[in-house]
Structure 1
Amino acid sequence: MNNFSAVSSLLDNDFYKFTMQNAVIKLFPFAKVKYKFINRGQHSFPKDFSKILRENLNKMAYLKLSNEERVFLEKNCPYLDSSYLNFLNKYQYNPKEVNIFQKGENIQMYIEGLWSNVILWEVPLMAIMSELYYKLTGADKKISEKKITNITKEKLEKYKKLKVKIGEYGTRRRFSYRVHKIVLKTLINEGDSFFIGSSNVHFSHIFSIKPIGTQGHEWIMFHASKYGFNIADRIAMENWLNIYRGKLGIALSDTYTSPIFFKNFNKKLSNLFKGVRHDSGDPISFAKETIKHYKKFNINPIKKKIIFSDNLNPYKVSCISSFCKKKISACFGIGTNFTNDIGFPSMNMVIKMVKALPEEGKKWISVVKLSNVKEKSTGKKNMIFSAKKILRI
């Protein structure tokens, strides 16, 4: 087990972590944050899990951006400028930023430090935890490449019939690195023109495809700690535009519920952003609301897009695409259903920002995510109550 290594490249991470890191360095270079591991699925972790996890984290300190990887980013992501790529060239994971505790079958984990440094931990950490969990419970010994390929092909056939655009978003809760690679290879070989890419930058490099993604909830959660709940969405979007000048123009819609997002998504932003991402709540209701919102500003919804990314499978995609047809462009980011659907229950866990220190010398502020569904909300109960009161939810 000591030879086990689930992450072997600095780029084995979701693309939006790098795009956010670039923006953080430029706008909030001295901000500090704290993240917490949340075991939503109440998984029981095997004995010595934290010890083996720690060994893996320590190995990550040796990961470096290769020249070949830098060239890939320069060619495929021109909006990541040379100052950021120079930063990434020197970047190293610091395992001291991660504190792990195991008591019986429970794991507690916190990550703390400069936001520009610790932002990259979340996704590879979860990928390691997921793979390690299946290895230590013996599940990984029973899977053949043929089985993984066939399961993926079966889904692809359904998506082909629906004629929908799909992307792969499944790094954080993948069954294993090996399964992820086989799934992606199948998607690329069999996906024809409707497979739009992967959020994983390392695999995008290996398979010579463009990585996909924009920003995550933490981007808006941090803005709430600095500017307040009411205008967090708007300032987060404006800052994003200032950094990327219209590139990576998909706005995330549910950090403080969609109604609050749409209040912030004014005419200027609605025009400048190419579309929105849906990540919680009823997708059809959200599509209706989005179409109504664009029409209010005399914007033709068919020229805009919604990227759906909430726990998707072929049935859900079928329902959503059927509704959106000829009304608004729809794309689908499919995660765990691609990378961890091989006969074992998938893990339900997240790592979320819980505190922020926007400026040195100020107090740490508890941050929350409200989401469109109660189960996906995160943060201290009193802060969630306070945020709902301020936002009149």
Structure 2
Amino acid sequence: MVDLATRVYNHKWKIDPIVRSLIDTDFYKLLMCQSVFRNKPDTTVTFSLINRAKHIRLAEMIDEGELREQLDHVRSLSLSRGESTWLRGNTFYGKRQMFRPDFMEWFENLRLPDYHLEKRDGQFELTFEGKWPEVMLWEIPALAILMELRSRAVLNTMGKFELQVLYARAMTKLWEKVESLREIPDLKLADFGTRRRHSYLWQDFCVQALEEGLGDKFTGTSNCSIAMKRDLEAIGTNAHELPMVYAALARTDEELRRAPYDVLADWHEEHEGNLRMILPDTYGTEGFLRNAPDWLAGWTGMRIDSGDPAAGAETAIKWWKDRGEDPTQKLVIFSDGLDTQKIHELAAQFRGRVKVSFGWGTMLTNDFIGLTPGNTLAPFSLVCKAVEADGHPTVKLSDNPNKAMGPSEEIARYKRVFGVGEQEALEVRV
């Protein structure tokens, strides 16, 4: 087991680069990338870093030169032979050859495109522009780099003994969570913590703790590199990025209204089983389900990623019943702002009513809350989103208006087109 405190204290970044592989990313990014490669390869997209926690002035904490070194290192990466073999030959979600030969040939020759970095008002303005399949793979590495550089900036102020105590406390906190979750009958839980992790080494440690502590209640990790390294299931389906870009490409209100379903029609052609998971909240869950085509009711389940999670699951259950489906045979994945108490509550509320799984993110891989004076290692909400497609702005409404993004006039148009009424604003924790 890695001595984390000593590794941090004696840290040299060339030994421990933050991102050490192109597959140090979430599995759903690769699945979506293949779909984009097949369906929208020539679409030009811009991704941009968005720090929702404005009080954390990243450009005043992180050295720009060090950030550029880490970003440039990612641009030097390519798939290793072992990684390519794993992607080509492994079984994912029960399917052999999940990744098509033409996609793999493209991926094996890929180097990530350039980035644009500026400082403004204490924050970094970091953007990536290019063909959609290429630039979309910057999202997770960019977030992981910024989050870990912030962690390192705090850790660099600590002595060796202080670091030992810090990690001992963090490990104890993590293990107490594992012991609590072990009590939940029929628990199914995966690590979703790559994008806002404390560090790569800490995420790997957390995954090992879950594997030992939860046994078969731990279903795998979204991180492809760790899944390969630890011989675990790679977990993930799709994300808001797909409907956001498809919608931005729509030229009429009718095309816009149809865009979220066009995404899933393309997905339906490629995937089956547990990969047929609906993510309904990009433009409001209720409107999405109200207008959804009947064939979507036959999909395996639904991921709840914004708004009140219990309310979202109740909406899903009612929708399935109204469409003549048996909710007890459907899967609901909760993945927004989870920690142990909420996992206990949701597991108890929906036990026997629907199959339940949890994607546990930031509060698994970055819960250092209360472990440093001034809470300087507490996680915060940092995202990297597609903000423009072929020159047109993207929009996300979400079931929580505090997560909405896009120009105000476009947000108003999307609310009109998708029939989104009053929404409850909830705190965005992480």
TM, length-normalised to structure 2? 0.86
1:10 aligned onto 2:44: no
1:149 aligned onto 2:201: no
Who is 1:361 aligned against? none
Match of 1:79 among 76, 94, 98: 98
1:302–1:235 distance in 2 versus 1, CA, 3 Å: same
On the 8 A contact 2:320/2:327 being kept in 1, the answer is yes
User: Residue 140 of structure 1: CA displacement?
Assistant: 8.1
Q: For residues 132 and 264 of structure 1, what CA distance do their matches in structure 2 show?
A: 44
Percent identity between the two aligned chains: 28
Deviations 1:16-66 (A, max 9, x none): 110011001101111111111111011112366332211111111221111
Question: Where do 1:182-331 residues align within 5 Å?
Answer: 182-227=205-250, 228-246=255-273, 248-271=275-298, 273-331=299-357
SS in 1 for 2:235: coil
Residue ranges of structure 1 left out of the alignment (5+ in a row): 358-363
1:238–1:140 distance in 2 versus 1, CA, 3 Å: farther
Alignment coverage as a number of residue pairs:
384
Matched letter for residue 352 of structure 1: K
Deviations 1:221-260 (A, max 9, x none): 1121234431222111111011224561111111001012
Match of 2:191 among 168, 175, 178: 168
Match of 2:383 among 350, 358, 361: 350
Residue ranges of structure 2 left out of the alignment (5+ in a row): 1-11, 372-376, 421-430
1:305–1:155 distance in 2 versus 1, CA, 3 Å: same
Question: Where do 1:17-28 residues align within 5 Å?
Answer: 17-28=29-40
Matched letter for residue 346 of structure 1: P
TM, length-normalised to structure 1? 0.93
1:88 aligned onto 2:123: no
Matched letter for residue 56 of structure 1: Q
SS in 2 for 1:119: helix
On the 8 A contact 1:148/1:182 being kept in 2, the answer is no
Question: Where do 1:106-125 residues align within 5 Å?
Answer: 106-125=123-142
Q: For residues 262 and 193 of structure 2, what CA distance do their matches in structure 1 show?
A: 29
User: Residue 82 of structure 1: CA displacement?
Assistant: 1.8
User: Residue 263 of structure 1: CA displacement?
Assistant: 2.5
User: Residue 143 of structure 1: CA displacement?
Assistant: 4.3
SS in 2 for 1:137: helix
Q: For residues 36 and 211 of structure 1, what CA distance do their matches in structure 2 show?
A: 26
User: Residue 266 of structure 1: CA displacement?
Assistant: 2.8
SS in 2 for 1:230: helix
SS in 1 for 2:406: coil
Who is 1:360 aligned against? none
Match of 1:387 among 398, 414, 418: 414
Who is 2:45 aligned against? 33
Q: For residues 343 and 112 of structure 2, what CA distance do their matches in structure 1 show?
A: 37
On the 8 A contact 1:284/1:320 being kept in 2, the answer is yes
User: Residue 203 of structure 1: CA displacement?
Assistant: 0.3
RMSD: 1.7
Who is 1:103 aligned against? 120
Who is 1:63 aligned against? 77
> Which range is displaced more, 131-140 or 7-16?
131-140
SS in 2 for 1:191: helix
SS in 2 for 1:57: helix
Matched letter for residue 71 of structure 1: T
1:383–1:49 distance in 2 versus 1, CA, 3 Å: farther
SS in 2 for 1:121: helix
Deviations 1:65-112 (A, max 9, x none): 112112222213332122211111111112x2x111113522112111
On the 8 A contact 1:369/1:377 being kept in 2, the answer is yes
1:327–1:49 distance in 2 versus 1, CA, 3 Å: same
SS in 1 for 2:388: strand
1:91–1:264 distance in 2 versus 1, CA, 3 Å: farther
User: Residue 351 of structure 1: CA displacement?
Assistant: 0.9
On the 8 A contact 1:152/1:187 being kept in 2, the answer is no
